[in-house]
Amino acid sequence: MKRLIGMLAIVGFLAGCVTPSQRWSASTSALQTARTVTMTLHDGGVIDNGQLAEAHKIDLTVRGALDVAETQLPDGGGTFEEYMAVAEGGLKALAKTYPKPKEVK
């Protein structure tokens, strides 16, 4: 749970990054955190193989977008913005694939 909260904090942090390099770096860190969270949830039996496969598809999309965005550093530009939008949207989509915590009564 702490890792999930950490990943969501990183996604929130993305909006505060000023330079293209900072945004790319924060998104790359968020993706690595998401990978760790995903595997921890899977290893713990919280998500099944189907959910893992879905998360993997999103992961590949984000990684590909970050790879293209990296080619536009340090200056950024239109192509950078387009691919960062894909990466940031993918990170948010990935967070939504995680199961919601159960209420404690």
pLDDT digits (tens, 9 = 90+) for 59-84: 999 999 999 999 999 999 999 999 99
Cβ–Cβ < 8 Å for 70, 81 = no
- The pLDDT assigned to 60 comes to 97
pTM of the full structure: 0.79
SS (H, E, C) 5-27: HHHHHHHHHHCCCCCHHHHHHHH
Q: Is residue 91 part of a domain?
A: yes
Q: Which domain holds residue 86?
A: 2-97
Give per-residue burial for 6-26: e unless 16+ CB within 10 Å, then b: bbbebbeebeeeeebeebbeb
Q: Is residue 104 part of a domain?
A: no
- Count of CB atoms within 10 A of residue 50's CB? 8
Cβ–Cβ < 8 Å for 65, 87 = yes
Q: Is residue 103 part of a domain?
A: no
Q: Is residue 102 part of a domain?
A: no
- The pLDDT assigned to 17 comes to 73
Q: Is residue 79 part of a domain?
A: yes
Identify the segments of the chain with pLDDT beneath 50.
none
The tally of domains found in the chain comes to 1
- The pLDDT assigned to 5 comes to 57
Q: Is residue 80 part of a domain?
A: yes
Q: Is residue 83 part of a domain?
A: yes
Q: Indicate the helix (H) or strand (E) that contains 73.
A: none
